[in-house]
Amino acid sequence: MTDAFTVVGATVAAASLEFAEFSLTALADAARVVVPVVAAWLALLWLGRTREPGILGSGAAEYKRVAHATGFAFGILSILFVIFQLNGLRLQLAIALPVGLLALLVGRWLWRKRLIQERKNGDCVSRAIVAGTRPDVEYVIRNLLRDPHHCYRVIAVTTNGHDPIVVDGTSFPVVGGIQSTADRARFSGADAIIVASTPKGDRDFLRRLAWQLEGAAAELVVCSRLTEVAGPRISFTPLDGLPLIQVKIPEFEGGVHAFKRAFDLVFSSLALIPILLLTPFIALAIRLDSPGPVFFRQTRVGRDGGYFQIFKFRTMRVDAEAQLELLRAGNEGAGPLFKLRRDPRVTRVGAFLRKYSLDELPQFFNVLRGEMSVVGPRPPLPREVLDYDGTVCRRLYIKPGITGLWQVSGRSDLSWEESVRLDLRYVENWSLTSDLMIMWRTAQVMLTPKGAY
């Protein structure tokens, strides 16, 4: 209903400007434009499967489908209007398309917020049984508990042993072995079965389980570690008797990265206009609070291990680096990171700037210079890179960012392993849509800061 009201409202508004005269003839002409546009738009939203239960509330995937369906609908309409020499589509393209698409995305976003809140309260979720070995089951449950966006609530486990599985203080009962998963699903009335791992040597387990679940109104979900990093690059190739999963090798050069650079230039240039207006006031507050320079420069490691000077508003006393070794024993950071929740070196103004991430605004100059991107992995210090292993070094395959998944997912509250996992997932699977979503979530995080110190 929200989609329908949005589409009708956008097309009628555009038509009212095109056919401003109030007469029967004008109404008839407007109807000849509005009816096909509304019909095509709503039809493509349906054919594009934008309202599938599995896609609702998923975020980027849902927004992409809505945008693709809208663009495809107007592409078809443009061709038909040209072929049949029809008038009236010009303002539909100029007004209804951008305004309607934006309204559709806002509507989906609002419903997504509502859905997430419902799921936090235990509603609109599937009652799930997790099957597999104990370590794999614990891994899956831990990730489900961490992410409130998912649609599953674990009610039981089928695994080896009889002791309940405890994850983050929550106990989950073991109701049987993995081979009894289908029977346990029927008995408990589970809506979904999540297979964390299959029995060793039983290649037909998944096929047999799918057959056993027929008629049980249960959804079968298979968890694979491969999807953690390579999810968007996975495709399926059917082959008689041997279905294949193809994983596209990530690319770190080429047209898409040139497009990312163009976006960085445009966005940073626009962002620097209000930043330059705010800078004198921030600079005055810094100088009045503590003696020393307004800006802080520090060596960071960029793409392919190259060094560059990062710019920030100064948030610490000028002798902060000299005091570092004295404070290292109380380090609260994860992995090679050094963080203190109550760092005595941070000034009063600096604490405020850090809380709302205002100290990072000068980094848009680094973006203009090509040393950073608006969205990307966290820019590490040289001493941190010395502790990187071969896997973590993949964070350096693209430019570091002012913001990223690490910032919108908890920042300093994240464990080292979780921070690395998020960065690697972004490095290999970034897209313009995901960048825009991260930027939007960054604005929310700045207003309601968490993990910033």
Q: Using an 8 Å Cβ cutoff, are 173 and 157 in contact?
A: yes
Looking at the predicted structure, is the pLDDT value of residue 333 above 70? no
Q: Using an 8 Å Cβ cutoff, are 399 and 377 in contact?
A: no
Distance CA 131, CA 135 (A): 11
Q: What is the pLDDT of residues 408-424, one digit of tens each?
A: 876 656 677 778 888 88
Average pLDDT of the residues in 217-229: 76
Which value, in Å, is the radius of gyration of the alpha carbons in the chain? 27
Looking at the predicted structure, is the pLDDT value of residue 339 above 70? no
Q: Using an 8 Å Cβ cutoff, are 129 and 135 in contact?
A: no
- Nearest of 217, 213, 247 to residue 233 by alpha carbon: 247
**How far apart, in Å, are the Cα atoms of 74 and each of 43, 69, 101, 350, 425?**
12, 9, 11, 50, 33
Which pair of structure tokens corresponds to residue 405?
């998944």
Q: How far is CA 199 from the centre of its chain?
A: 33
Percent of the chain with pLDDT over 90: 42
pLDDT of amino acid 29: 74
Question: Which residue has better confidence, 406 or 137?
Answer: 137
pLDDT of amino acid 365: 95
| Alpha helices by DSSP H, 224-323 | 226-230, 255-289
Looking at the predicted structure, is the pLDDT value of residue 106 above 90? yes
Q: What is the pLDDT of residues 22-47, one digit of tens each?
A: 666 667 777 888 899 999 999 999 99
The model's confidence at residue 296, banded by pLDDT at 50, 70 and 90, is very high
Q: How far is CA 316 from the centre of its chain?
A: 32
Which pair of structure tokens corresponds to residue 213?
């679940």
pLDDT of amino acid 391: 79
Looking at the predicted structure, is the pLDDT value of residue 451 above 70? no
Percent of the chain with pLDDT over 70: 90
Which pair of structure tokens corresponds to residue 339?
């963080």
Q: What is the pLDDT of residues 125-142, one digit of tens each?
A: 889 999 999 999 998 998
Tokens 């890179």 identify what position?
Answer: 385
Looking at the predicted structure, is the pLDDT value of residue 229 above 70? no
**What residues form DSSP beta bridges with 245?**
236
Largest CA distance in the chain: 83
Tokens 């409130």 identify what position?
Answer: 148
**What residues form DSSP beta bridges with 167?**
170
pTM equals 0.72
The model's confidence at residue 3, banded by pLDDT at 50, 70 and 90, is very high
Q: Using an 8 Å Cβ cutoff, are 228 and 146 in contact?
A: no
pLDDT of amino acid 356: 86
Q: What is the pLDDT of residues 267-288, one digit of tens each?
A: 999 999 999 999 999 999 999 9
Rounded to the nearest 5 degrees, what angle is found at the Cα of 185, between the Cα atoms of 180 and 188?
A: 120
The model's confidence at residue 252, banded by pLDDT at 50, 70 and 90, is confident
Q: What is the pLDDT of residues 162-204, one digit of tens each?
A: 899 999 888 999 999 999 999 998 888 898 999 999 888 888 8
- Nearest of 35, 204, 5, 254 to residue 107 by alpha carbon: 5
Q: Using an 8 Å Cβ cutoff, are 367 and 373 in contact?
A: yes
Average pLDDT, the chain: 86
Question: Which residue has better confidence, 44 or 341?
Answer: 44
Distance CA 316, CA 359 (A): 11
Distance CA 70, CA 105 (A): 11
Question: Which residue has better confidence, 301 or 229?
Answer: 301
